[in-house]
Amino acid sequence: MKEPATPNEPATPNEPSAGRGPRRRGGGRAARQAARATSTPAAPYLLRRVPPVDILDDESLAMIERNAETILSQVGIAFQGFPSALELWRDAGADVDGELVKFPPGLCRQIITDNAPEVYTQHARNPARSVQVGGDATVFAPNYGSPFVMDLDNGRRYATLEDFKNVVKLTYSLPQLHHSGGTVCEPVDVPVNKRHLDMVYSHIRYSDKPFMGSVTAAERATDSIEMARIAFGGDLADRTVMTSLINAASPMRWDATMLGAATNYARANQACMISPFILAGAMAPVTVAGLAAQALAEALSGMAYLQLVRPSAPMVFGMFAASMSMATGAPTFGTPESGQAIYVMAALARRLGVPFRSGGQFTASKLPDAQAAYESAHTLLPTMQAGVHFVLHAAGWQEGGLALGYEKLILDADQLGAMEVLAKGVDVSDNGQAMEAFFTNPQGEHFLGNQHTLANFETAFWRSDIADCASYEQWLDEGSLSAADRANARWKQLLADYEPPPIDDTIDEELRDYVARRKAEMPDEIG
């Protein structure tokens, strides 16, 4: 399980040759057009070559860990409505009083360090897109959970299955997104107890990137597992093909729905992101160190529980930190404090030795506007610099998670491309140093025709698909478009160009049958 997949590293640029090399025919216009039209195959995930940024010293981190142990042993964590969890905890030596569990100091940590994998591979339907979760890899997945969608043409509206499929298709088409995600938006037009079937099917059918399963009921997790078994063939005991989102009911609670889903996934060797999701101020103290101690305590208890269910179950330490505006009560996103929380929690996860999920591109803005861009950047940079392994909500999040923005999805994905460059670090190889260029370039002249430039220019600079850097007049001629306007045109183009990945007909049929049968077995339910 620890053997990570190898990402396709972008081809290294040619070594520079001194002076002018022999001239070769390049195939002229047709060849160049063809070459520029097809982008290099996207890497299945990003490899970080730069060390993570720590904003706290070891002593402070150790103090937060002690505080978390104090919370675990003296305040306790409730495991609500799920007696089998209490049974496991009693056997493991915790103090169980009603539904409240108090853990001897060090117990949760010990269970995790003894059992949990540091890194695992989540297999994709297309093996070239399998992702490594943990280590020096970062995986980007789109928005999750929004009941609404918004785009410039139609405004904000409840999301439908059509929207859901569109987002899956767009995510498949966007090379910066490595993972298809889960509930990318909520298909509100499908009955509550049947949605998950359509969602899982859409991920499998319209994408070949890895995906997440349903968590809104234990039996929906089971359906997700069954469908994955059909799609991947056979028992999944040896392969992890889903990583699903399990939120804590902060403060200091785990609820029966999440415990039920997590238990079923763990038993089937499928991964869970055990995520405290905290609005500081309301669900935790207002300070970063206070929030960190609580989030660590919650995550430790949830992760240790998973390891009790199935030792060495693949899992991720998750943390989502935002805050509640003390002035209005509204959730806020992209604030500097939540950035600090990401750095601190990532460091705590590293010390524990498990993969870490956090960050994304968050905003409370209702539009793909300046607020959205700034707030998103304020989460994305800490996410990258902290060395987060799995980034849910990496693109599309708008309005505090209430809406998926079509344009925002495109704008965000563009920024993820820039992160790839940052993560790679600075090339100090011979080619990176570029000393040849100085020796071969006439003193004081521009470098545009230099062999080193010719050998490197295509990949030297990250190029935005969206940003406009043309002259004012050209911009005017082209319709005075904003970034959001350009993103609007791009998602439409991507959808128009979309072609589904291949799928074996018999597998597709079996999946459809499964969905049809399960739907027929249940009356439509609301709730």
Q: Where on the chain is the footprint of other proteins (CB under 8 A)?
A: 147-148, 158, 186, 188, 192, 195, 216, 249, 255, 257, 279, 281-283, 324-329, 400, 402, 526-527
Kindly state whether residue 250 participates in binding ligand B1M, applying the rule CB under 6 A: yes
Among 163, 186, 208, 223, contact with ligand B1M (rule: CB under 6 A): 186
Can you list the alpha helix ranges (DSSP code H) found in 129-191? 161-173
**CB closer to ligand B1M out of 182 and 355:** 182
Cβ atoms of 316 and 372 closer than 8 Å:
no
Kindly state whether residue 249 participates in binding ligand B1M, applying the rule CB under 6 A: yes
Q: At what angle do helices 83-92 and 288-309 cross, to 10 degrees?
A: 90
**CB closer to ligand B1M out of 44 and 276:** 276
Under rule CB under 6 A, how many of the chain's residues touch ligand B1M? 21
Question: 371 vs 129, 144, 398, 411, CA distance in Å?
Answer: 33, 20, 10, 13
**CB closer to ligand B1M out of 186 and 208:** 186
In whole angstroms, give the CA distance from residue 198 to residue 215.
Answer: 14
- Report the candidate in 160, 151, 138 with the shortest Cα–Cα distance to residue 398: 151
Among 258, 395, 410, 411, contact with ligand B1M (rule: CB under 6 A): 258
At residue 291, the 3 state secondary structure works out as helix
Among 80, 146, 332, 365, contact with ligand B1M (rule: CB under 6 A): 146
CB of 402 to ligand B1M, least distance (A): 5
CB of 211 to ligand B1M, least distance (A): 14
CB of 133 to ligand B1M, least distance (A): 18
What is the H or E stretch that residue 415 is in? helix 406-424
Cβ atoms of 346 and 358 closer than 8 Å:
yes
Q: Which two tokens stand for residue 255?
A: 């609820």
CB of 264 to other proteins, least distance (A): 18
Kindly state whether residue 285 participates in binding ligand B1M, applying the rule CB under 6 A: no
- Residue span binding ligand B1M (CB under 6 A) among the ranges 20-28, 246-254, 346-354, 415-423: 246-254
Q: Tell me which of other proteins, ligand B1M, none is bound by residue 144, counting a contact when its beta carbon lies within the kind-specific cut-off of 5 to 8 angstroms.
A: ligand B1M
Non-local CB neighbours of 296 within 8 Å, separated by 6+ positions = 64, 65, 68, 345, 348
Cβ atoms of 288 and 319 closer than 8 Å:
no
In whole angstroms, give the CA distance from residue 235 to residue 224.
Answer: 13
Cβ atoms of 426 and 432 closer than 8 Å:
yes
Kindly state whether residue 217 participates in binding ligand B1M, applying the rule CB under 6 A: no
Kindly state whether residue 400 participates in binding ligand B1M, applying the rule CB under 6 A: yes
Strands of the sheet with 148-151, listed across from one edge: 155-158, 148-151, 403-405, 397-398
Question: 298 vs 58, 97, 115, CA distance in Å?
Answer: 21, 17, 18
Considering only residues 306 to 325 of the shown chain, the ones binding ligand B1M according to CB under 6 A are: none
CB of 281 to other proteins, least distance (A): 8
Considering only residues 101 to 120 of the shown chain, the ones binding ligand B1M according to CB under 6 A are: none
- Residue span binding ligand B1M (CB under 6 A) among the ranges 62-70, 250-258, 338-346, 347-355: 250-258
Residue nearest to ligand B1M (CB): 145
CB of 213 to other proteins, least distance (A): 15
**DSSP per position, 423-452:** HH----SHHHHTHHHHHHSPTT--STT-HH
**CB closer to ligand B1M out of 186 and 436:** 186
Contacts with ligand B1M, residue ranges (CB under 6 A): 144-147, 186, 215-216, 245, 247, 249-250, 257-258, 277, 279, 283, 329, 331, 400-402
